[in-house]
Amino acid sequence: MAVFEYRALNARGKKLSGIVDADSQWRAQSKLRDQQLYPVSLTQIRSTADGRGRTPRVGLNSVSAFFKIRPTDVAIATRLMATLLSAGFPLVKAVGTVTGQVRSRVLEKVLSRVKDAIEEGSSFADALKLYPHVFSPVYVNMVAAGESSGTLEVVLERLADFAERREETRKKIQAALAYPMIMSVVAVLVLVILLTYIVPGIIQIFSDMNQALPLPTQILVQVSDFFTRFWWILFLLPVLLAAGLYIVRKTGKGLWYTDLVVLQSPVAGPLIKKMIAARFARTLGALLENGVPLLTALTIARKIAGNQVVSDLIQTAADKVEQGGELGTALASNAYFPELASRMIQVGERSGELEKMLSKTADLYEREVQTTATAATALVEPVIILVMGVVVGLIILAICLPIVEINQLIM
């Protein structure tokens, strides 16, 4: 069955757009007329095959197009599918109904293709697997476990909870960091304006008097002159640093060493470790709760760790588990994984309640991350104000010293 993208007018002449499934263009037009829609344009969404007769893309040749799909949109669609399945809707009808409700046009097209794949005989998980940039390995494996156990609606509910909790944590951290970042940018802009526009005009007055300037004023003149001539370096340098870091991280060793530096940094390191522990525990716990085998779950959790050093650590722990060892003991042997988290995992393994203990571990570290981020931003704000006060004070001192000397000469 083909998928057509349409632009149409309704009975009141309002312009509408969307997608419709049909065997042919004529059948698509007929479907739209049945809905009292009068098509203005009707374009078939082309697809490309992956070599096995499947259709992994829907008219989206650029992978970057998928980045228009926000995790929030996927979470909402997941919640809707879970609700419809719980109400007794068949899977195909539930996916088709949700397709018309999502806000993202790209996600709408993806879900339409997922629905077609299910109608052609694919399982829901296999259909989702065709779009790895939309549905993560965690999502696909949990859906597969839900299908095999007959609890798909429960799994989808948990997936929606999982995604919403992650988004909530991410937004809280972003909100905590937003104000210090804005203050830092404003502070830099104020200093640049002072040194490139305000200070040169004032210094020029003293230069015209042919008066020997005090050392602080001479330093200010040199700094102001540098900023006036090479202000573009302030904008070019961050770009060059970011590009260099990107190139370094594209190599295996570069990625590993930069991630190691982050973990060992005294300020960001502890916070990053807590974030990774929370993400790892939440993902592993969700997968185990839905029947995914431990080794498979560890492989998936390793991929979403977000740090190559910790990812290697998890892989080493998975190898030890495969040989009959305990996960908590394997994780405890490395300093880059929080000790408390590994101990809680050990307790969960020995008590037979690993899933619950992983969930508690994730809750604990998510709260710690939020608390640490809030405390750090509360400390950063006065530091920025203090630094700005010192810098502006030095500028004022450098300007006032020649004035004081001139007054003394006059007197």
Which tens digits make up the pLDDT trace of 275-302? 889 888 888 888 888 788 888 888 888 8
The residue ranges of every structural domain in the chain are 1-44, 179-411
pLDDT in the model for residue 344: 92
Please tell me which residue, 59 or 155, carries the higher pLDDT value.
155
pLDDT of res. 144: 85
d(CA 286, CA 158) in angstroms, rounded, equals 8
- pLDDT confidence band for 361 (50 / 70 / 90): very high
Using the predicted structure, report yes or no on whether residue 158 has a pLDDT greater than 80: yes
Q: What is the pLDDT of residues 211-231, one digit of tens each?
A: 677 788 888 888 888 877 887
By three-state DSSP, how is residue 3 classified? strand
Question: What confidence tens digit (pLDDT) does each residue in 169-202 have?
Answer: 778 777 777 877 888 888 888 887 877 787 787 7
Q: Quick check: 395 pLDDT over 50?
A: yes
Q: What is the dihedral of CA 368, 374, 377, 382, to 10 degrees?
A: -120
**Distance linking the first and last C-alpha atoms of the chain:** 96
pLDDT tens string 89-116 = 888 888 888 887 888 888 888 888 888 8
Question: 3-class SS at 70?
Answer: coil
pTM of the model: 0.65
pLDDT at 347: 92
CATH fold of the domain at 179-411? Receptor-associated Protein (1.20.81)
Question: What average pLDDT does range 248-254 have in this prediction?
Answer: 86
Q: Please give the C-alpha separations between residue 334 and each of 85, 313, 329, 407, in angstroms, as whole numbers.
A: 44, 7, 10, 67
The Cα–Cα gap between 192 and 317 comes to 50
Q: Please report which confidence band the pLDDT of residue 13 belongs to, taking 50, 70 and 90 as the band edges.
A: low
- pLDDT band at residue 50 under the 50/70/90 scheme: very low
pLDDT in the model for residue 56: 44
Per residue in 53-77, pLDDT (tens digit) is 444 444 443 443 444 678 888 888 9
**CA-to-CA dists, residue 34 to 10, 37, 329, 344, angstroms:** 11, 7, 64, 60
